[in-house]
Structure 1
């Protein structure tokens, strides 16, 4: 993507295909400059507040109650578990999330349809605040109040075109803002950004992207996203309304035979297949029922 407009400049990259519940997530890719940054690096308070409404979908087996009001998040080491080259960004950060989601009602989360189903409902926790607080402080423990369960799947489709889910949590969310949803479809050329958990990492924000083409059920873009970003909210950069849900894209990684490790795949701004984003209208309609 083009250089950041509201976040500090930082080079980043990541991901690979992995299994989430009953389905394999399709990885995403970097287009042009890599704009991914941690939330603490974001200079605008309004964007940090929006990022605070993002959830990480983490298997309940990887969350341990410590008995003191905190939970421990069990995570793998991103760089070593993915066999990344040591100079890859975020190499030392933890990876715990299988997918991403966002708060669209007091007890409702929007995510991708391939991220969760009725049979998976009890297997995933929806965790707010899974983010780096500075360059060295990872979210190893979080307040137990930031962890929510899945009560039911309110609406869900998972086809070649539609890919979305609306999930009701086990209780109303406190301390996080309900996001505003766009009432009209994103159009080619619109500036957009994404907030989520690429490759299961702590929350990342990436801007500088555009809508490439509107396909009706979804639109294509040059967002810098990866497996784990599935379910991430995509925002209009002018209105900061959610315009879609990131669902699929091009291949993330390539193998560097000389270094004998994995490096990030990169495409030109207008190259590769693009990243697909389900139009938010499906969630808007589900909320009306």
Structure 2
């Protein structure tokens, strides 16, 4: 049974899942921390259509790329192309085609498909790319659609900004026998495109409607609909009845919300005309002396359906990396709607990954992104360690904004955080002549009587810098001009030693009662 109803409204397509069908699905929460509980053929009618009709999924189209051999590039923007008609005519030695063979006059340049899960992290199948040496032979081209400009009937014109190269392989594994088939590629530069979000916990349910975007047979991107999950029992993959061909490999399988559930990796195939070889897309039919699509009935989909490598069966470290880098990118570039979308993975903020690679509260402070900072801190403030609080407050000190500091202190971060540090935050402020911030910290209860390892009081530290305003402020708060460090030296001696003679004289007069503060 098809799970989506295709509605024609004002001459555009939109895809609507009925509330009754939604209620019948047992959907497992997809955004929890990883590891926690909570070549392709057609099935029935060919439901592939141009991506321009993917209403509601435009951002996902933009985040999907095709893999194109570098030798096809002419200049910096034109790829040599052969039409599907020319390619199949050559392959099967006929110029006759069945009526259901679609897209014959469109170009074919791609080999595989890939999709962004972070600004410069692309996912594809391991059988498409498994090593950097293999990756170096290809470009990844975005916005390759039926609306791409065709020049002289033999070139596809592409904006050079839509052409990317691989920089490194983050992780890859291709083991056909054990159904492991993924590759995670670091691109040579970041893209401003919105990446796909993806499942990090649970598993996709039987009968969940599934979509695909990809470049079947090297064609411009196509949007494939009217399919569902038929089998989710295997540990590494699930089966759908989605209409995909060779060229879709590495492309995204996602649900109606746009959550990535899997990577397109395998298809059903069959023999025709007593041929020893299997085919999964087109075949020659001598009865009509024409080329036909490989077609399976929907009843066959459980046993021979399209296979997807489950997205949660790639290394957890990759999932952590992608979530973190999406949030970091959104924070630093002030893209607050994207930040809000990726904040659904709230476990990342207090994860080992954020602790190792940089707290995102700090990224928000350094980017002056108050919206992000407030959101993150609301989730993390109860679990912050003394060390993390110190790091976050340090970042605020370096930002030189009292407003951010006040917000952090109002949120419950302790002004004396960092007990293992050589200097308290207040001592650091005094040594750096930050009077306003020092006064703010004192007003929130920072210890004004703390001394350094050498016994220097805050007054000694202020005398060392020569900051008279700081000295006067500390004296008014009750610090003693008679205090001595472990060398038995008063603040006036420290001022004199550091060539602040007038301040030394001032302190001496205060000590002797000649001046009242």
Report what 1:133 is aligned to.
147
Q: Which residue of 2 aligns with 1:23?
A: none
| 2:299 is equivalent to residue 270 of structure 1 | yes
> Is 1:34 matched with 2:46?
yes
3-state DSSP class of the match of 2:299?
Answer: coil
Q: CA deviation at 1:258?
A: 2.8
* Cα RMSD, aligned residues only: 2.3
Count of residues in Structure 1 that have an aligned counterpart in Structure 2: 264
Partner SS, residue 270 of structure 1: helix
**Contact 2:123/2:183 (8 A) holds in 1:** yes
Aligned match of 1:48 in 58, 71, 79? Answer: 58
Are 2:172 and 1:156 equivalent residues in the alignment?
yes
Aligned counterparts of 2:5 and 2:218: Cα–Cα separation in 1: 22
Q: Return the offset for 1:4.
A: 6.1
Q: Residue 286 of structure 2: which of 232, 236, 257 is its match?
A: 257
- Contact 1:77 1:93 (C-alpha < 8 Å) held by counterparts: yes
Does the 8 Å contact 1:193/1:205 carry over to 2?
yes
Q: 1:201 matched to which residue of 2? A: 219
- Residues 124/41 of structure 1: CA separation in 2 closer, same or farther (3 Å cut): same
Alpha-carbon separation, structure 2, partners of 1:241 and 1:147: 25
Give the one of 215, 224, 244 matched to 2:243.
224
CA deviation after TM superposition for structure 1 residue 253, in Å: 2.3
- Aligned with residue 80 of structure 1, among 64, 86, 91: 86
TM-score normalized by the length of structure 1: 0.85
Aligned to 1:16: none
**Superposition deviation, residue 157 in structure 1:** 0.9
Alignment partner of 2:194: what SS? coil
The match for 2:466 is none
- The answer to whether structure 1 residue 248 and structure 2 residue 254 are counterparts is no
Report how far residue 85 of structure 1 moved: 3.6
**Is the CA contact (8 Å cut-off) linking 1:188 and 1:211 kept in structure 2?**
yes
Q: Which digits, 9 at most, give the CA deviation of each residue in 1:118-149, with x for residues without a partner?
A: 22121010110110128999981011010000
| Greater Rg by CA | 2
Query: Could you tell me how far 1:198 is from its partner in structure 2?
Result: 0.5
Q: Contact 2:264–2:308 at 8 Å: present in 1 too?
A: yes
TM-score by length of 2: 0.48
Q: In structure 1, what is the Cα distance between the partners aligned to 2:44 and 2:285?
A: 19
Q: Greater shift after overlay, 176-185 or 53-62?
A: 176-185
Inter-CA distance 37–122: structure 2 relative to 1 (3 Å threshold): same
Report the CA distance between 1:231 and its aligned residue.
Answer: 0.4
Which residue does the alignment assign to 1:287? 319
Higher strand proportion (structure 1 or 2): 1
In 2, are the aligned partners of 1:73 and 1:140 still within 8 Å (CA)?
Answer: yes
Report if the CA contact (8 A) 1:110-1:283 is conserved: no
Contact kept? 2:130, 2:173, Cα under 8 Å: no
Q: Does the CA-based 8 Å contact 1:4-1:207 persist in structure 2?
A: no
Summarize deviations over 1:196-234 as a string: whole Å, max 9, x none. Answer: 100010000011101111111000110100000000100
Q: Residue 62 of structure 1 corresponds to which residue in structure 2?
A: 72
Structure 2 unmatched ranges of 5 or more:
15-38, 90-94, 269-279, 322-517
Contact 1:219-1:277 at 8 Å conserved across structures: yes
Matched residue, 1:143: 159
Identify which of 207, 213, 225 aligns with 2:231.
Answer: 213
Structure 1 unmatched runs, 5+: 10-26
What is aligned with 2:198?
181
Q: Secondary structure at the match of 1:163?
A: strand
Question: Is the 8 Å Cα contact of residues 171 and 184 (structure 2) preserved in structure 1?
Answer: yes
Aligned to 1:5: 6
The alpha-carbon deviation at position 282 of structure 1 amounts to: 3.0
Residues 135 and 142 of structure 1, relative CA distance in 2, 3 Å threshold? closer
**Equivalence for 1:20:** none
* 1:112 is the counterpart of 2:129: no
Distance 1:85 1:277, change over 3 A: farther
Alignment check: 8 A CA contact 1:154 1:166 kept: yes
Offset of 1:178 from its aligned partner?
1.1
Q: Secondary structure at the match of 1:114?
A: coil
Instruction: Find the aligned partners of 1:148 and 1:287 in 2 and give their Cα distance.
Output: 22
CA contact (8 A) 1:192 1:210 kept: yes
Deviation at 1:8, TM superposition (A): 4.5
Partner of 1:94: 107
